[in-house]
Amino acid sequence: MKFGLWGKKLGNTRVFHEGQSLHVSIVRVSPMYMMGIRKEGPHTLMQVAYGDVIKPNKPMAGHFASAQVEPRRRINEYRIDESFFAACSTGSEISTQLLKDVDYLDVSGTTKGHGFTGPVKRHGFSMQPATHGNSLSHRAHGSTGQCQDPGRVFKGKKMAGQHGNVKRTIQNIAVYKVDLEEGLIWIQGAIPGPVGGLVWMTPSFKKAQSLSPLLPVDAGVESSDQLTPTAKESEASDEN
């Protein structure tokens, strides 16, 4: 898996660009803390902690203490290029700075779960007649079987079942603005998941992009706001 950032979906709004209304989703980046780097064959793996602060059990408390990181709810491990994170050490914070020069993202998340739903809501089927002799089959999907040959229901048949609560990835979604001070990323279009849900953001797989070099937190960042091409064009037109 490509390295990226975790974030919490705050909601949706719209912005106006050159007289056009753009739908944007706002994500607050969840700071990630380096727990350590280890080798596994030819690969280099980095363990990071992120999420809400928790009260851990004793084994995990010792693990966090050795890395000098405040206990967090989640721990993940990712394959990385060791030279890219050479400037950081155990306990370093990885934040929005990582994606400040990225114009397109792949955003993954878990879609809203609707539970067990019928074919009308799950697949958009039309309802059957409400009257004229129809009894208890108003929202039923109707016949699903076959004749004697093949004598079975094919796999993937659209029927009632679990609706949502699956992992989905939106590719090549444009970044409108990156706010380094507030830790916010404004993304054009919709992203999977409910408000408050976690999403995983990486540079677009189908675009020639790379992460920004990771600097120690002490080095700081001079600019507080990094705009993507869409927003940069808007600023240039205002100046002219």
Q: Given the structure tokens 């016949």, which residue do they identify?
A: 143
| Assigned fold of 1-30+101-112+157-240 | Elongation Factor Tu (Ef-tu); domain 3 (2.40.30)
Q: Are 121 and 164 in contact (CB under 8 A)?
A: no
Confidence band for 212, pLDDT divided at 50, 70 and 90: low
The pTM for the full model equals: 0.78
Greater confidence (116 vs 210) lies with: 116
Lowest mean pLDDT among 37-46, 55-64, 180-189: 37-46
Judged by DSSP in three states, 99 sits in: helix
Strand partners, 122: none
Q: For residue 169, what pLDDT band results from cuts at 50, 70 and 90?
A: very high
- How many other C-beta atoms can be found within 10 angstroms of the C-beta atom of residue 73? 12
Tell me how crowded residue 189 is: count the other CB atoms within 10 A of its CB: 15
Helix extents (H) in the chain: 58-67, 119-123, 229-239
Task: Name the residue ranges covered by the structural domains of the chain.
Answer: 1-30+101-112+157-240, 32-94
Q: What is the CATH number of domain 32-94?
A: 3.30.160.810
